[in-house]
Homo-oligomer: A and B are copies of this chain.
Amino acid sequence: MVVKVYGPAYASPKRVLVCLIEKQVEFETVDVDLFKGEHKEPEFLKLQPFGVLPVIQDGDYTLYESRAIIRYYAEKYRDQGTELLGKTIEERGLVEQWLEVEAYNFQPPIYKLVENILFAPILGVPSDAKAVQESDEKIAKVLDIYEERLSKAKYLAGDFFSLADLSHLAFGHYLVNQTGRGNLVRERKHVSAWWDDISNRPSWKKVLDQHKYPV
């Protein structure tokens, strides 16, 4: 049974792709064009009623929300590929903590940058300079906390690569490579080393190689 992943061009679905590669799970992808509104069509809404990406189908099992999907596969294939949840319940607790930090503190301001710097020109809408400035300030503060954390442990949840780190790749890529904010990472020694480490994993390179970002 091959897992179907919808929307591989976009950032959040890439969180799923890199996880499946780390877990050595075979998958195929189904394109969904957000710019054509395909995520709001009735057929898609049957799979994902909120009309957002990604969603997966694995036989008759359907699941959405990228961070739920990566937890599911990390658990289902615990003994296959890279261990992504830590070895103990306490390690997993920290993996969960940093997954939440990524979701509430890291991704949202980067998403604002992507909207205003990359998407606004394509959609022909004005960019909100205030939102960009506020996002830059938020990201700097968040990365200061990461710098402190990563001065004490090689990865976010401890001295092991986990879902917590992996979950940063999709929007970290936007930050470093597509919104011209690489300096926010490079100015912080431990964040910079951590980013080099995780973004050079063969799994992530394979995702980037096979599924271009739309912008």
Contacts and interface: CB of A to CB of B under 8 A. Distances in A.
Nearest to A145: B49
A108 B70 CA distance: 23
Contact of A49 (B64, B69, B99, B148): B148
A61 interface: yes
A49 B75 CA distance: 29
A55 to B, nearest CB: 10
Nearest to A66: B100
Interface in A53-71: 61, 63-65, 67-69, 71
Given A50-B145, A90-B61, A72 B96 contact: yes
B105 A93 contact: no
Interface string A87-104: 001101110110111011
A52 to B, nearest CB: 9
Main secondary structure of the interface of A (DSSP, over half): helix
Contacts of A65: 96-97, 100-101, 104
A67 B96 contact: yes
Contacts of A97: 63-65, 68
A124 to B, nearest CB: 23
A95 B94 CA distance: 19
Nearest to A142: B50
Most chain B Cβ neighbours within 10 Å, of A64, A71, A148, A149:
A71
Contacts of A101: 50, 65
Nearest to A149: B49
Contacts of A92: 71-72, 75
Contacts of A36: none
A91 to B, nearest CB: 10
Interface of A: 49-50, 61, 63-65, 67-69, 71-72, 75-76, 89-90, 92-94, 96-97, 99-101, 103-105, 145, 148-149
Given A49-B145, A50-B145, 4 more contacts: A49-B148, A50-B101, A65-B101, A69-B93
